[in-house]
Each structure stands twice: as C-alpha cells, then as structure tokens.
Chains A and B, each alone.
Chain A
Amino acid sequence: MTFQAFHGSPTVKTELLDRVRAQWNARALAPAVDLHWNNADQPDSISGTLARTQDRSEFEERTGIPADLAQLCEFLIVAGVRQTKAPDTAAGFLLEGADAVLAFGTEWLNAIRPGADLSLIVPQFARYCLALLLDPEFILAEHVSTALRDVGGQILSFWDRELSGESLARSEWRDVQGAAMLATASDTSAWGYRVAAFVEAIAWPVKSVSREFVGLFEPYLFNWLMYLETPYMTEAERADRAHLLLGWKAMATAPRDEAGKIDFDPLESLPESSRVMSSNHIMQTMDRAEAVRAAARSRKDAVITALMDALLALIRSA
C-alpha cells in the first residue's frame, strides 16, 4: 500500500484533526495501542476518533497514515500517563500526565505534512531505538552483554543496508537470529533479560518488524522505565526488584509440554523470587512502590518525551 498522509490535502488534515483536538484537549479520549471507536467497552482513542474506525485498513484508507505509526504514537502516550476510572466525570475516566507528554496527543498529528509517505517512520524509529540501546552511555549499558552488543551491531548494520535499498539473504538473518538467541540464553543479568529479548525479537528485516514493533518495544521500555526507579530504592528494594525480574524471566522461559502446559513450578528453585511475587509481599509494599514510582516520574517523563521528540523529528522529515 502506498501512503499519502491526509491524501495530500490540508483540508482533509484540518477536518480530521478537528475531530480529535477539542476532545483530546477536554481529556475525553483515552490513548490506546489498539484503535478504539464507538466501542461500548472502551473509551474512544485518539486514532480511532481521527478515522472513526476500529479497523486498521479503514484507518489507513481514511487517513493515509500507517496504523503502525498511530499505534506507536499512542503507545508512547500510554507509557507516560495514568488513566483512572472516574464514573462521576463525563468521560468516565481521568487522564493524568506531564504537559509535555499529553501535548504529544495532537503534536504528532500536527507534525504530519499532507502528502507525506510515512511508511518508513516506524522502521526508522526502530533503528533509532536500537542505536540508543547500543550507545555505551545508555542507562542500561552495563546490562548489555558483549555478545548481545555484537548481535545488536550486526542487526543495525543489516537494517542500514536494507534502508539503503539492499536486500539481504535469509541465511544472513538466520545467523544473526541464532547468535541473538545464544546471547539471550547466556545472559544472567536480571535487568538484561528484557533488553536481550527485545534485541532477539527484532532480528528481522526492519520493514517487517514495523507491524510487531510496539508489542516488542513495550516490555523493553517498561523494563527501562522501571530501571529509572532504582536510585529511589533502598538496597533491599533493589535486590527485591532484581528477584522479581528473575522470577518473571523464569515464568516466561519455563519449558512447556506439547499441550503448552508447564508441569512444574518455575519459581521452586527461586525462593526469593517466589517471595517478592507473592500477593502478600505485593500488598505490603504497595505504598512504598507507589512512592518510588512518583519519585522517578520526572526521569521517566524525560525518557518518554525524548522518544516522542525523536519520533516527531522523523515525522517532520518525511
């Protein structure tokens, strides 16, 4: 499909944005990774309202914007806001977040030039994120193993060749995918697992990653944002967080039988993970966890708005 944003018409852009602007400014729309429109179970999302549809194909036909890009933009907002139920309000919910995060709800749409082909924005953003991950100054750099860094560098180089028009053999990708799985398997860092899993999952031609990108990026960004909370934790809390991450990893990687069932307790050999994952522990530490989250809020907002700015720059350059 060839994309031409707003079908090349400033009038169409104005008409579609008018549907969103007033409602978004009134906080009557709920950003969502999926398109929500006129759905009894969910409030309308920004993109759903823009195209008045829940269908990806219809969204793309009506707006000329790739649904993957809309999904990514809404995801970044979701990552930076808190939505709570508020039955007494007209919208039925409250949306709280930093002004800079909330402003992105219409900024990304304003940034789109009518007629722009935005089909490569998500691949370019994926490239930006991978380059950031491999930067020695990246906040999680100490949790990126040498093997994973090598694989990430190979993927980046393959993506650059692809984006410059070169096609790569399937066998080249198979080698990188194999190396990525080995790097993930040998990674023992609690904070490194989701980084490694992300790199492993994106070891494909970047244009083919576009559709899956948000789903792959979400747990990685979640891990990254959680890491920003660690300076506000006590030593014991940091240790508990590491046990939690190792417990999640054990649950995610536990061998399953042919029916897909796990026939043992993956946490049996991880008593500390089992302890911090218990509902009792979660209840006991809920207030403290909330205080840590609040303390880290501005650092998280800075990461999210930097990602939004990078995405805006790509959109404007299209």
Chain B
Amino acid sequence: MSVDIVAVSDATFAIEIEQSDRPVLIDFWAPWCGPCMALLPTVEGLASVYGDDLKVVKVNVDENPVLAEKFGVQGIPNLTLVMGSRAVALRERSRTRLVSEIDALLG
C-alpha cells in the first residue's frame, strides 16, 4: 500500500492548507532526518485510514523555513493537525495512537 502525499511549500500553503475545507495533517520532515523517514509509512497509513476526511501533506523544512516557523516547528519529525485556525502538534507516533489522538481532536 503506497499513498502519494502532497508536498506543500511556502508558496502553496494558502491553497493547500489555509483554504482547505478539510482538516489537514502536516508532516514536517527533511530528507536527512532518519526518524522522519521511519515515520513516513505511518503517515501514509494515516492517509489511507482517513481517506477524504483528512488531507495529509508534507513540508520539507529545509526548503520551506517560513512554514516551519509559522507552525513553531522546533524539531522534526513533527506532525501537526490543522483544524481551521487551530493547529496542534501531535505527540503520538504509532498509527494506532495517532488515530486515537486525531479522532479525539476532530471530535
């Protein structure tokens, strides 16, 4: 199972995240970050679980420092759930726990 996750940049943030009519899960990552690469299959798994109910995007923090700064990303990997004007950094890292955490936040 492989899911394509849209890459978002500083330039496309407004369209892909700010104007999204669905909650958005942002995976802040960098290609040199081993834990980020290890988390990628889990993020893809989440995209499959939620289908159209959740938009899953990724942001390369090296190429998009403005977005990382905007969301206060101090370390990666960082998964942030954006629901309208509210953004919450997720603390869990396994798919089972992340789904539980996301479900609780989405109500």
Contacts and interface: CB of A to CB of B under 8 A. Distances in A.
Interface in B4-41: 37-39, 41
A203 B103 CA distance: 16
B89 A259 contact: yes
Interface string B79-105: 000000000111100111101100000
Contacts of B90: 260
Nearest to A204: B95
Contacts of B72: 259
A181 B78 CA distance: 22
A197 interface: yes
A210 B95 CA distance: 13
Contacts, number: 56
B107 interface: no
B97 A212 contact: no
A211 B95 contact: no
A43 B39 CA distance: 23
A211 B1 contact: yes
Given A34-B37, A212-B42, A256 B96 contact: no
Given A256-B91, A260-B75, A211 B96 contact: no
A211 B89 contact: no
A212 B2 CA distance: 11
Given A204-B45, A258-B88, A260-B91, A177 B75 contact: no
Contact of B48 (A57, A208, A256, A261): A208
B27 to A, nearest CB: 13
Contact of A260 (B44, B48, B78): B78
Interface string A211-253: 1100110000000000000000000000000000000000000
Given A201-B96, A260-B89, 9 more contacts: A180-B96, A181-B96, A201-B94, A211-B44, A211-B45, A212-B41, A212-B95, A215-B38, A260-B78
Given A201-B94, A204-B96, A212 B45 contact: yes
A256 B1 CA distance: 31
Interface residues of B, number: 24
A186 to B, nearest CB: 15
Nearest to B92: A256
A57 B1 CA distance: 12
B97 to A, nearest CB: 7
A43 B82 CA distance: 39
A260 B87 CA distance: 11
Interface in A143-165: none
A57 B96 CA distance: 26
B65 to A, nearest CB: 17
Contact of A203 (B37, B39, B75, B96): B96
B2 A56 contact: yes
A117 interface: no
A56 B3 CA distance: 12
Nearest to A216: B94
A200 interface: yes
Contacts of B78: 260
Contacts of B44: 211
A181 B99 CA distance: 12
5 contacts: A178-B100, A211-B45, A212-B45, A260-B78, A260-B89
Given A256-B91, A259-B72, A260-B89, A208 B96 contact: no
A219 to B, nearest CB: 10
Contacts of B74: 259-261
A40 B74 CA distance: 28
